[in-house]
């Protein structure tokens, strides 16, 4: 029986790629680098801010990456949801899971203060039992430390948790924590990508998540 569903944020619960691209390009151009395309920036999302910037500017040293990170954080805090919205069906899906008695939460590699602001701005903060971004002292996903802390607070075992995400760090997080996993096909990874990784479940819309939890509870695999 699924007792908790924990969602990734970017590319899973919200479409935030355009705001991320604007923030990254602001930092790049402020330090004399050329803008990068939306597609290139999106390809580096999901592994934390430092890894994103290092991937975009491989020649930058640690000090310059630090400066870019501060520029991104400052800009992004002022523009967290200029273009960002939840994916269709998010609110209804969270309401349905609550009706089923299933706890929900978010775990993102994005800076925690940004995750909190986005959750409030988009109206899902009060629908969830846990909203976590990357917090000091906690390793990034796919390390399971943050997820296990969330589940301990909820009183839920890993076997009773379904992780929902759009990219490999989320799948690896689920494996490392001992939870079940469902991939979404509208973020970083399409259906063929998930099938190539051998995941048990993938969905094409958030509306399908509540139905999936009921399917798992019934012991069905169809």
Does residue 196 register a pLDDT over 80?
yes
- pLDDT per residue over 165-181, tens digit each? 999 999 999 999 999 99
Gap between the Cα atoms of 176 and 156, Å rounded: 16
Does residue 47 register a pLDDT over 90?
no
Which pLDDT score, from 0 to 100, does residue 219 have? 67
- Catalytic residue flag (residue 121): no
Which pLDDT score, from 0 to 100, does residue 216 have? 85
Superfamily (CATH H level) for 4-15+85-217:
HAD superfamily/HAD-like (3.40.50.1000)
CB atoms within 10 A of CB 172: 17
- Which residue in 84, 73, 71, 68 sits closest to 18, CA to CA? 84
- What average pLDDT does range 21-41 have in this prediction? 96
- Structure tokens of 91? 């609110």
Which pLDDT score, from 0 to 100, does residue 211 have? 93
Please check whether residue 145 is in contact with residue 23, taking contact to mean a CB–CB distance below 8 angstroms.
no
Q: List alpha helices for the chain, DSSP H.
A: 17-30, 38-43, 49-56, 62-78, 90-99, 112-121, 145-154, 168-177, 191-197, 207-217
Which pLDDT score, from 0 to 100, does residue 200 have? 85
Does residue 217 register a pLDDT over 80?
no
pLDDT bin (cut points 50, 70, 90) of residue 221 is: very low
Does residue 218 register a pLDDT over 90?
no
Average pLDDT taken over every residue of the chain:
94
Does residue 151 register a pLDDT over 60?
yes
Give the CATH number of domain 17-78; options: 1.10.3470, 1.10.3210, 1.10.287, 1.10.150: 1.10.150
Q: Which of 8, 10, 19, 170 is catalytic?
A: 8
Does residue 222 register a pLDDT over 50?
no
Gap between the Cα atoms of 109 and 106, Å rounded: 10
Q: What percentage of the chain carries pLDDT values higher than 70?
A: 98
Domain range annotation of the chain: 4-15+85-217, 17-78
Residues 6+ apart with CB under 8 A from 220: none
Gap between the Cα atoms of 73 and 211, Å rounded: 37
- pLDDT per residue over 83-110, tens digit each? 999 999 999 999 999 999 999 999 999 9
- What average pLDDT does range 126-138 have in this prediction? 96
């Amino acid at each position: 029986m699924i007792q908790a569903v924990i969602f990734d944020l970017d590319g899973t619960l919200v479409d935030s790629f355009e705001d991320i691209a604007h923030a990254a390009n602001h930092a790049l151009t402020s330090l004399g680098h050329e803008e990068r395309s939306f597609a290139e920036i999106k390809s580096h999302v999901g592994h934390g801010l430092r890894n994103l910037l290092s991937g975009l500017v491989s020649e930058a040293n640690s000090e310059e990456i630090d400066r870019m990170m501060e520029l991104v954080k400052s800009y992004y805090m002022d523009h967290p949801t200029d273009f960002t919205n939840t994916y269709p069906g998010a609110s209804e899906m969270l309401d349905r899971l609550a009706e089923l008695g299933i706890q929900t939460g978010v775990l993102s590699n994005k800076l925690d203060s940004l995750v909190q602001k986005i959750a409030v701005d988009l109206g899902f903060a009060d629908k969830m039992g846990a909203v976590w971004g990357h917090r000091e002292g906690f390793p990034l996903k796919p390390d399971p430390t943050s997820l296990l802390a969330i589940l301990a607070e909820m009183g839920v075992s890993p076997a009773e948790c379904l992780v929902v995400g759009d990219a490999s760090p989320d799948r690896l997080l689920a494996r490392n924590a001992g939870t079940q996993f469902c991939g979404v096909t509208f973020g970083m990874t399409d259906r063929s990508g998930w099938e190539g990784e051998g995941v048990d479940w993938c969905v094409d819309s958030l509306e399908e998540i509540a139905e999936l939890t009921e399917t798992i509870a019934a012991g069905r695999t169809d």
